[in-house]
């Protein structure tokens, strides 16, 4: 148990006690009786000049746990008891100048302690209430945010369904069908990315695990459920804005692999690696499939195909660069700064 949790436990106990005023005043009287009995018990062993020794802790503990009212009660009783039994002349309320100074000192110290404890308790109570209110507002905001994300993803799925309906009405136009298929696939992919990124259960999910689950869903929805996917990552976390763009980039490359690298196949392998340079300033996303690779003479970097144009747009968003090559299949490499330009300039 930490010191902080121990202190919170004591404060919660004090709050529960103070919800029962009668018990608090009974505890104050019991505390006074105990302090008085202890003071009598050690009276012979103490040198002169310690009339308040056992009363101080009794007053402080009562004021903390039972509140200001019971604290004042035990303080008054303690002053009278110390004055009557333990200040010369004993068993008398008569005072000389020295005794009056001792009693006044005790009163001032107890009053200061009670004021400090009262002020501290009031501040802690106010902070506790504000914390509870803040927690409620945060929960409400989180609920509204999750509802907004859910509705947004549902709207994307609904638009995708409309595009699919429209595609069926254009069955005699292959180019239009292909365009609608591409738009539907990308919209569904964005919906999947959206759902996964804003799912509370994925908040602490490592980037590698997140990409693996996302791309596995993309392959299934793209008609390639038997493709084996392997994702490795040495980058544990990314800010959400850049992770969205990276996710869309990876899914776009995976979709291209399904269309061209795994065409006519029931299996295949897709390897995704996200790494950083030694200084951590740059991230590198490498996606490799085991298909036939890019055709001879084909330049993906200059292609006007929608998929490559979309991919180049994502790269610009990340302030990155794309490289395409063949190496036992098609290899796409996206190199981009680890931090956004605005963040790096701060």
Give every strand in the sheet of 330-337, ordered side by side.
227-233, 268-276, 282-289, 330-337, 321-326
Each residue's pLDDT tens digit, 146-191: 676 667 767 777 777 777 776 776 767 777 776 777 677 667 766 7
Give the pLDDT confidence score for residue 4 in this predicted structure.
57
**Residue 343: pLDDT band by 50, 70, 90 thresholds?**
very low
Q: How far is CA 319 from CA 45, 193, 242, 305, 312, in A?
A: 81, 21, 10, 21, 10
With pLDDT > 90 as the criterion, what percentage of the chain qualifies? 24
Q: Which residues contact 286 (CB under 8 A, 6 or more apart)?
A: 271, 272, 273, 274, 275, 331, 332, 333, 334
Q: Is 86 exposed, middle or buried (0-12, 13-18, 19+ CB in 10 A)?
A: buried
Domain boundaries, the chain: 1-204, 227-346
DSSP string, 261-287: ISTT-S-EEEEEEEEE-TTSSEEEEEE
Token pair of 85, please?
A: 């039994």
Query: Which is more confidently placed, 295 or 186?
Result: 295
Checking DSSP bridges between strand 268-276 and strand 321-326, what pairing results, if any?
unpaired
| CA gap 270, 257 in Å, rounded | 8
- What predicted TM-score, i.e. pTM, was given to this entire model? 0.53
pLDDT at 207 over 60: yes
Each residue's pLDDT tens digit, 97-128: 877 888 888 889 888 888 988 888 888 788 88
**Residue 145: pLDDT band by 50, 70, 90 thresholds?**
low
Give the pLDDT confidence score for residue 267 in this predicted structure.
80
Token pair of 268, please?
A: 């295949």
Give the range among 224-228, 301-305, 320-324 with minimum mean pLDDT. 301-305
Token pair of 255, please?
A: 């979709």
Topology of domain 227-346 in CATH is: Heat Shock Protein 90 (3.30.565)
């Amino acid at each position: 148990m930490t010191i902080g949790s121990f202190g919170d436990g004591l404060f919660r106990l004090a709050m529960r006690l103070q919800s029962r005023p009668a018990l608090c005043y009974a505890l104050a009287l019991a505390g006074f009786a105990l302090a008085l009995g202890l003071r009598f018990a050690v009276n012979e062993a103490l040198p002169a000049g310690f009339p308040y020794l056992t009363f101080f802790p009794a007053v402080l503990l009562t004021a903390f746990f039972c509140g200001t009212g019971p604290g004042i009660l035990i303080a008054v009783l303690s002053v009278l008891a110390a004055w009557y039994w333990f200040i010369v002349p004993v068993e008398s309320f008569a005072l000389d100048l020295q005794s009056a100074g001792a009693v006044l000192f005790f009163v001032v110290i107890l009053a200061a302690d009670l004021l400090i404890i009262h002020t501290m308790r009031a501040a802690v109570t106010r902070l506790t209430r504000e914390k509870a209110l803040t927690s409620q507002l945060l929960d409400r905001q989180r609920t509204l945010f999750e509802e907004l994300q859910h509705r947004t993803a549902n709207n994307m799925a609904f638009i995708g369904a409309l595009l699919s309906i429209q595609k069926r009405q254009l069955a005699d136009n292959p180019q239009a069908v292909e365009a609608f298929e591409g738009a539907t696939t990308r919209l569904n992919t964005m919906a999947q990315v959206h759902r996964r990124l804003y799912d509370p259960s994925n908040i602490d999910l490592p980037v590698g695990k997140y990409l693996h689950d996302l791309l596995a869903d993309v392959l299934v929805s793209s008609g390639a459920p038997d493709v084996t996917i392997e994702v490795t990552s040495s980058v544990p976390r990314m800010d959400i804005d850049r992770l969205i763009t990276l996710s869309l980039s990876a899914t776009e490359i995976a979709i291209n692999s399904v269309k061209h690298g795994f065409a006519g196949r029931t299996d295949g392998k897709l390897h995704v690696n996200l790494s950083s340079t030694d200084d951590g300033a740059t991230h590198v996303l490498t996606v490799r499939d085991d298909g036939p690779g890019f055709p001879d003479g084909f330049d993906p970097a200059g292609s006007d195909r929608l998929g490559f144009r979309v991919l180049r747009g994502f790269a610009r968003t990340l302030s990155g660069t794309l490289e395409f090559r063949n190496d036992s299949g098609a290899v796409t490499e996206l190199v981009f700064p680890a931090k956004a330009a605005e963040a790096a300039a701060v």
